Amino acid sequence: MFSHIYIEEKAWNHPNTHYILKQLTDTRTITPPTIIPIRHYKDLFNRSNQNFELQKNHPNLILALNENSTVYKGAPVCQDFGNDHFYYTSFMMNCIYNCEYCYLQGMYPSANIVIFVNIEDTFREIETLLLKHPVYLCISYDTDLLALESIHGFVHQWADFCHSHENLIIELRTKSANYTGIQDILPSERFILAWTVSPDSTCKQYEHKTPSLQARLSAIASAMKQGHPVRLCFDPMLTMKNYKEKYTALVEEVASKIPLHQVKDISLGTFRVPADYMKSMRKQHPLSAVIQYPYENDHGVFHINNKKQQELITLMKDLLTNYVKEDKLYLWEEQSK
């Protein structure tokens, strides 16, 4: 999967480093990765004149120790689902997938993947917060943890941590179909599996390297059958050609494969990206229809115009309320007002 693994000197002897290396240097590997020691991950990750898109085709892995906080208050462009104390954690940076519309390409200078192996320090941060108030925590915003679970095993560690802290609710968001990688985890109402679902044409055209819609729905059905609380995320929704027909077909496909009335809730959100990220994204993708689309800049956030936004949200609400009660629908546009 990775041709090179760069390891910080301080991270070399960490147990999670040993675990990850063991998975990636298994004797079944045809070509073992080249392992290179480095002083600090930023020497590689933050260097100038990198090409994000070229690196995305063949990303490398960086293992490091984070000596600063990896827990942040939830951003305004993210949904809090009615939780007062909303946080996210970024102990892993970048994603193995290559979604054309992804904000990470505007956020980071490099497409290489960084794993901060000292996850126990993140656990301690959360425990400090839990002494003050309950915590709603998103653990997979700046990456897709489930996609690489066979390498790091962090989803299992987070599930164990969640089960032992009763004032903690965790959301794991993913586009992965790798449910078999966590099927041994015991279901908990406080550990939410949240799948992003998109029209099949969007998966193929813009969500490069991701599993198909059908594969995701199969994983969702398996998770629900075992009793896991599942959140569906129609987010970000795009106004591509014939988008009304495509989203209508999407809801019908989802409803035919999983029992929609049994999902925990549903997230609806149209495309939005901070303006400073969009500037970098447009520079990297001069021919991308989804990035070069004439969005509106509203207080530093690029989004589709209000009329189309409302049309799409109304369409999805009308379609989904045939299967679920409206109070299960969470709209980013309403939260942001």
Predicted local confidence at residue 240, as pLDDT: 83
Predicted local confidence at residue 284, as pLDDT: 87
Tell me the C-alpha distance between 16 and 148, whole Å: 14
- Tens of pLDDT along 257-291? 999 999 999 999 999 999 999 999 999 889 999 99
Predicted local confidence at residue 77, as pLDDT: 66
Predicted local confidence at residue 196, as pLDDT: 97
**Burial of 66 (C-beta count, 10 Å sphere; 0-12/13-18/19+):** buried
Instruction: Give per-10-residue mean pLDDT for the chain (337 aa).
Output: 93 97 76 92 93 90 94 79 89 94 93 97 97 96 95 98 97 97 97 97 94 98 98 94 94 97 96 93 91 93 92 96 95 58
Query: How many other CB atoms are found less than 10 A from the CB of residue 106?
Result: 20
Predicted local confidence at residue 30, as pLDDT: 67
Predicted local confidence at residue 29, as pLDDT: 56
Rounded (5°) CA angle 127-128-133: 90
Percent helix, strand and coil across the chain, each to the nearest 5: 40, 20, 40
Q: Which residues contact 325 (CB under 8 A, 6 or more apart)?
A: none
Predicted local confidence at residue 233, as pLDDT: 96
Tell me the C-alpha distance between 321 and 265, whole Å: 12
- Tens of pLDDT along 46-73? 998 888 888 998 999 999 999 999 999 8
Predicted local confidence at residue 335, as pLDDT: 47
Predicted local confidence at residue 27, as pLDDT: 54
Strand pairing of 272-274 and 296-298? unpaired
